[in-house]
Structure 1
Amino acid sequence: MSDHSDAPVRPLPAFELPYYVVVFSSVRTEGDHGYGETAGRLDELVREIPGYLGHESARKPGGLGITVSYFRDVAAIERWRSVGDHRDAQRQGRAEWYEAYTVHVAEVVRGHGFARERSERSE
């Protein structure tokens, strides 16, 4: 949700199975309209949800953005959906921030990853 240009660029690890993902794909409208501030606040709030595991976001030039949020179970997703500030942000998103969006919720039944040791990187 927020841009951390000084953070290391690494994907989140695969979590213990099963877990759930919420994939939010969107195209933003022009201008900020308070989006950045709200995104920062929501980033803090979601971390307080029991069962929240993390999220990753990317935005392509031209506007398509994708955020994948990871949750331990459906109950954690429902807890996040019910947070008042999140509900308010959803309404504001439809009114001001998004041209279009799609939400997909899925159970992850397989996951694995790879990370090169930092000392192995060539410069």
Structure 2
Amino acid sequence: MFIVIFRATTRELDAEYSVTAARMRELAMQEFGCLDFHSVCEGREEISLSYWPDEASIRAWKNHPEHLLAQQRGRERWYESYSVEIAQVSRQYQVTGK
């Protein structure tokens, strides 16, 4: 399993941003095999974590025309700066309550 870590410093976020972000999550989950997707904002800082079965799925999602357009809008309108990290998860465990 792989994780994509997206960190950004945002500019002014508008209604189109919310619609686009929801659509990108939907696209990732329904069409490209994304296993899980979490995003949080605190002030102007945003971090999104998405989990993927393999790197090929990440590349396919990154290069999808709709996602390419969202990336362009992000650079032009919504993000002051951002970084992307991709890592392989080498171990995972979970504890649940009774």
Tell me if both proteins adopt one fold, taking TM over 0.5 as the criterion.
Answer: yes
More helix by share: 2
Q: Secondary structure of the residue that 1:70 maps to in structure 2?
A: strand
More strand by share: 2
Task: Say if 2:2 and 2:54, in contact at 8 Å, map to a contact too.
Answer: yes
State the partner residue of 2:45. 64
1:99 aligns with 2:80: yes
**C-alpha distance after superposition, 1:42-93 (max 9, x if no partner):** 1221122343211111111x21111000000001101111111100000000
6, 24, 33: which one aligns with 1:42: 24
67, 73, 86: which one aligns with 2:54: 73
- Cα-Cα RMSD: 1.4
Q: TM-score, normalization: structure 1?
A: 0.73
**C-alpha distance after superposition, 1:14-68 (max 9, x if no partner):** xxxxx000000111102416101111221221122343211111111x2111100
Instruction: Name structure 2 gaps, 5 residues minimum.
Output: none
Q: TM-score, normalization: structure 2?
A: 0.91
Report the CA distance shift for 1:58/1:65 in structure 2 as closer, same or farther (over 3 A).
Answer: same
Q: Secondary structure of the residue that 2:85 maps to in structure 1?
A: strand
Instruction: Name structure 1 gaps, 5 residues minimum.
Output: 1-18, 118-123
How many aligned residue pairs are there?
A: 98
* Runs of 4+ displaced beyond 3 Å: none
Task: Say if 1:49 and 1:76, in contact at 8 Å, map to a contact too.
Answer: no
State the partner residue of 2:34. 52
Task: Say if 1:49 and 1:79, in contact at 8 Å, map to a contact too.
Answer: no
Percent identity between the aligned chains?
35
